[in-house]
Structures are given as C-alpha cells and as structure tokens.
Structure 1
C-alpha cells in the first residue's frame, strides 16, 4: 500500500487553466512531508493554499456582500471532526478547526465564538482582504440594476440577475486535501465562500458529511456549490458506497446527480484514490511507499 496526499484547488476553473493549476498543486503536494500522521499532511497542504492569494481560502478569500470576509474550514479523521464557521480575522482557519477537534469537547465553533477561541490560543489578528477580492465584489455588485439596494432586496437581485459561473471561474472555490498514511485516513478543507453571498452564509465545507468526511472506509472532500452539496450530503454518500464498486464509478455517479450545478470531489480508500468533477478542477498528488 502506498501513502498518498491528494489535493484540489477548487472546481469551476476554465479547462484551459487546468494544466497550470495541476502543475502548481503538484508542486504544493510535493513540498508536504507525509510523515506518520495523515492529518498533519492534509492540514499542512491546506495551510499552504490558505497562504496563497490565488486560492479562495485564507488570504485569497472572497468578500461577502457587506465587504467582510468570513471563512469556513474543517478537519476530519475517523471518529473525530472539528470545524470553524464564519470565522474572521485569522490567517489559517484550518489550524483553528484542528484545535477545535483536538482541544475542545465540541465539533463546531462559529462566528465570534470561533474568533475568541482563536485569540485565546494565540492566533493573531490578520486581515485576509486583497485588492482582487475588492474588485471581484465590485463586479458582482455592479452586475445588478440597483447595487445600492439594502438587505434582502439586494440579495434577491444578485440571485436572479448574476451569472454565478462568471465569479466561480476565477475564485478557485474551496481548497481541500485527503491523505492515507500507513492505512490511516484524514481530510482537511478551507474556503472563503462563494460570491455573491450574505454575511453569515455557511456552505458545505464545515459540515460533516457534506463537504468533508472521514471514516473507516476512507476520506472524502467536496468542492462546488455548497448549498447543493449540503442537501445531498455528498461526502457521506460517497464514503458509504466505498467498496461496492470502483471509487471512480462511485464519484462519477454521485456527481451525476448535480444537474447544472458545479461540483467536484477527491477521495482515498484503503486501496484506491481518485477525483471527479463536472467542470475544470486542479489536482495535486504525492505518492510514497509506506514504511
């Protein structure tokens, strides 16, 4: 059995950009030491992507309609899970999610509570906003008839008049990783959300079974439109089918339910690994012989 680290940089990129995305993600995967702990490998890969403004996570996160940046992240190993929801002003949400799992009796912390928890542990205040995020928000708001509207009316117009694919194409969406080391599984995921979105919106990434899952059969991470992924509990469904047919076939069948909705997934099992998406998705891979 070979040890493996498998990454994705988000689904929804133009097919012409996949090769360059793969090159970058393979370089990231190659720089991560697999060691003995699959969670360390998965988290360390996500931290690198959170620190890179090219990805929609951490420093590269998109802005919400009000101009704020709220991020979600999660980690999972069989029997344990931790996540942060709508956390702000930290550099690496995935590290805070791991601390939720390892240092608290809880599985999820949200908003102000997640921020206060991070500060108690010494995570410094950090502003992840970039000019790219500001410009992207401006484009989103200018795409509706009344960009100065307030509250729900503004969001309704964004929902009905905005071509979401236009904004997903350069956002790189969620970032995620799955690992198998010496037969043990782990998963990690982080995202700045999707654009446009209301303050407080939560996607699939920090929801166990939706955007991330790890269990006795393997580890799975999803990327795409979070609301639809959450409704189908995509990662749980894939995990529960592992062993019934090839991993590739399972992923293809589950993604096939997403008609007109962008979705992708990466997964590892005891003897397989793979990915599947219905639109362009960058992938990184590192394989090593186990000890």
Structure 2
C-alpha cells in the first residue's frame, strides 16, 4: 500500500510521542558494554563479555562475539549453515572496525567459516580495507584459514524447495540477514563487527551493506558506533550507519539517532511499509538504542547489570 508523506509525518509524530528514550541506558558512564542485533546476539554477547569484563579490548570482544553465530549451523543467516544464494552457493560478507578508524572487510567470500577473522587480517596485515571473491579466499588461505563446505543439508534442502517456488522473502524476523555487534571496553574505546551470509537466495554475486564501512557498520571513537540490519540496499543508498553516528555527533541520543535515520529512509521510500531496515547504536557514554520500520527487530545487551533482549521501537507502532 502506497503511503503518502502526510501519513508518514503523522506516524513519525506518533512514534516520537511514545518516547525516544525507551530502551536507552541512562548511565553516563556505562562501561564495559556490548550490544548486538537479534536474539542470536545473546550467546554472541556472552563470548564478547568474557573478554570485556576482564579488561580486554573491544576489538577482540566483537571478533570473538560474532564468531559464535558464524560457527553455529542452526543460525541460517550468518556463516556456516547460512542460506545460499540463488545458485546454491553460500557467500559471506563481513567487516570489523576499531577505535582508531582502522577497518577491514571481505565480500563474496566462499568456503571460509569465519569471515570476520579474515576481515581483521585484511585490516591488520594489508594496506587495504576490502578484499572480495577469489582474492579474499586466496588471502584467507595464505593466512592459514581452511576451506570447508558451508552448505549444510538443511540449508540445501531449503534452497531446493525455494527453487520450485521462487518466492521472494521479506527481510524481517523470519529472514534476518546479519549480526552486528558494538562494544565499549573498560578503557572507553569502541569497536564493531558485522557478518552475514546475506539475503536468502540472492542473485549470485550480490553484496549487501554488511561488509561496507559506513553502510552496515561505522565506529567513531569520539562519538559512538552503529550497525544495521534489514534490506542492505537501503543502508547502502543512505550510508546509514555513518548517518546514525553523525546524528549522535549533532547531539542525538543513540535512540534518537537510529529513529532519525529510519525516518530519513522512510521519507525517501514513500511506500516504506513494504520494507524493513533497523539500526542499533552505542555512544561513548555507554548509552544504546535501536529503531526500525517494522515490528520484529530485537537486540541483545550485556553489561555489568546482566544480559537482556529488547524489542526495538518501530515506525509502524501506533
């Protein structure tokens, strides 16, 4: 259903009235802390927290954290066990970014279970930011990563069923495509990581926002960090995570910044009810927040007070 600008503005005002501060940690110095997208962020955060609560670096924490869903075949949208593309090939994208604006990325990587660790090697061992395809695979093997088949029998069976029906799936809670993680360590430094097997049954060769610095992940150690989930093409078109961080630079809380970025996308789309995008942000003080278009996006938080899963506020909430 087409939504006009007047309807959007009414929805936006209503969403604002619900309270921008919902889900935002009130502490002015909440560290260490780790936040990540989706329910599978809970075990990922646990792995990251083992590093953070012992005084470890945020960079090490986010890498260790997102490796958990990367290696879990039950999670069908990240790493091993992820849904393949339209050709039946599992292709992986990932990026990582530290407090000094160093970053590394891989895209269209095949047969390597932990692309986030390859991305870190790109960051630390090359003069480049991104490697893709065969070049990324060759680099990974040169660093000791082993090739293995990432297409599980379950994912293959789903793909074969899809071949018969060829239905396009909405990227939402049933088909979310990413884990993004942000951490603030005891030293006050921020880092982030994002890793995915991408949209289920995508065109062979498609790359979304997850490995793109500024689109699927961005870290500015003076201000905060953001990560994204949902329809990656929309995050690419708006450089969404960089936009969230810039809103925080202008004084917005993480919650407000995520909402403003979603609203920016929605006004451009017009028929935004047909799409899903979501942002998660963490600032230098340890405040966090998230916002999305449609209901269904949740995020995990772990700090000294414990672990929790929070439903993100959304534009369609009336």
Common fold: TM-score over 0.5: yes
Give yes or no for the alignment of 1:236 onto 2:242: yes
State which of 120, 129, 139 in structure 2 corresponds to 1:107.
129
The worse-fitting range, judged by mean Cα deviation, of 42-51 and 263-272 is: 263-272
CA contact 1:30–1:285 (8 Å) conserved in 2: no
Query: Higher relative contact order by CA 8 Å / sep ≥ 6: 1 or 2?
Result: 1
Separation in structure 2 between the aligned mates of residue 186 and residue 224 of structure 1, nearest angstrom: 21
State which of 158, 161, 165 in structure 2 corresponds to 1:143.
165
Match in the other structure for 2:216 = 211
Give yes or no for the alignment of 1:64 onto 2:85: yes
State which of 291, 300, 306 in structure 2 corresponds to 1:276.
291
State which of 153, 159, 170 in structure 2 corresponds to 1:131.
153
Change (3 A) 1:195 1:103: same
Match in the other structure for 1:248 = 255
Change (3 A) 1:255 1:132: farther
CA positional deviation for 1:168: 4.9
CA contact 2:244–2:258 (8 Å) conserved in 1: yes
CA positional deviation for 1:108: 0.2
Separation in structure 1 between the aligned mates of residue 43 and residue 145 of structure 2, nearest angstrom: 27
Separation in structure 2 between the aligned mates of residue 138 and residue 170 of structure 1, nearest angstrom: 18
The worse-fitting range, judged by mean Cα deviation, of 250-259 and 24-33 is: 24-33
Give yes or no for the alignment of 1:222 onto 2:236: no
CA positional deviation for 1:200: 1.1
Matches of residues 23-102 of structure 1 in structure 2 within 5 Å? 25-32=41-48, 33=50, 34=52, 35-55=55-75, 56-77=77-98, 78-102=100-124
CA positional deviation for 1:169: 4.3
Change (3 A) 1:113 1:36: same
CA positional deviation for 1:5: 0.6
CA contact 1:140–1:195 (8 Å) conserved in 2: no
Q: Where in structure 1 are there 5+ consecutive unaligned residues?
A: 10-20, 145-161
Q: TM-score, normalised by structure 1?
A: 0.83
Match in the other structure for 1:4 = 33
> SS of 1:58's equivalent?
coil
CA positional deviation for 1:37: 0.7
Separation in structure 1 between the aligned mates of residue 207 and residue 297 of structure 2, nearest angstrom: 22
> SS of 1:239's equivalent?
helix
Q: How big is each residue's C-alpha offset from its partner over 1:156-183, in whole Å with a ceiling of 9 and x where there is no partner? A: xxxxxx3422x75433311110001122
CA positional deviation for 1:275: 1.9
Q: How big is each residue's C-alpha offset from its partner over 1:180-212, in whole Å with a ceiling of 9 and x where there is no partner? A: 112211010100010221111110011111001
State which of 169, 190, 195 in structure 2 corresponds to 1:190.
195
Question: How many residue pairs are counted as aligned between the two chains?
Answer: 258
Q: Where in structure 2 are there 5+ consecutive unaligned residues?
A: 1-28, 267-271, 306-318
> SS of 1:57's equivalent?
coil
The worse-fitting range, judged by mean Cα deviation, of 135-144 and 237-246 is: 135-144
Q: TM-score, normalised by structure 2?
A: 0.77
> SS of 1:164's equivalent?
coil
Separation in structure 2 between the aligned mates of residue 199 and residue 64 of structure 1, nearest angstrom: 6
Match in the other structure for 2:277 = 263
